[in-house]
Amino acid sequence: MDMSDLACWMYISRATILREDADQAIDAIVAVSRPRNAALQITGALVFSGDSFAQAIEGPAEAVAELRALIARDMRHAELMTVADGEQSSRDFASWSLAYSGTAHFVAREIERIRAAIHSEPYHSQRDLRRLLGELSS
């Protein structure tokens, strides 16, 4: 892949999954996403807090756009908010077709803090989400 075509999209969304169905639903998402992402040369990280999703998706611009459209239509997501969208020079999650981190109170608080600051502090929101996903996937 030509690195000049490397795109990244990071988002936060409200999860519409019922809590009692969450483990099974997330397992299904991860099981489908890992092989699909590998085939599309997509890397990234997903965090589920119980109430929200936060994800970074990076790869060829066309593949990132395809996944973005799928997620936008996915009924498991509501209030989809873009944190970052654009080109980047290198991958942050190069060794992960999908790094996944499960629920934790710390993660839930961090996602809510980032969500609250998206419009007033977009640079800090982008930096903080990238850092959170990086720490959870390392």
Please report which confidence band the pLDDT of residue 90 belongs to, taking 50, 70 and 90 as the band edges.
very high
Give the domain ranges of the chain: 3-137
pLDDT in tens, 24-66: 988 898 889 989 999 999 999 988 888 899 999 999 999 999 9
| Average of per-residue pLDDT across 81-109 | 83
According to the model, what pLDDT value does residue 95 have? 83
Six token digits for residue 19: 């809590």
pLDDT given for residue 101 in this prediction: 64
Topology of domain 3-137, CATH: Alpha-Beta Plaits (3.30.70)
- Compute how many other C-beta atoms are within 10 angstroms of the C-beta atom of residue 60: 16
**pTM (2 decimals)?**
0.81
Average pLDDT of the segment spanning 109-127: 91
Say whether pLDDT at 102 is over 90: no
What token pair was written down for 134?
A: 């990086």
Q: Which residue has the tokens 């903080």?
A: 128
Any residues with CB less than 8 A from the CB of 19 and at least 6 apart, and which? 50
Residue 4 has pLDDT above 70, yes or no: no
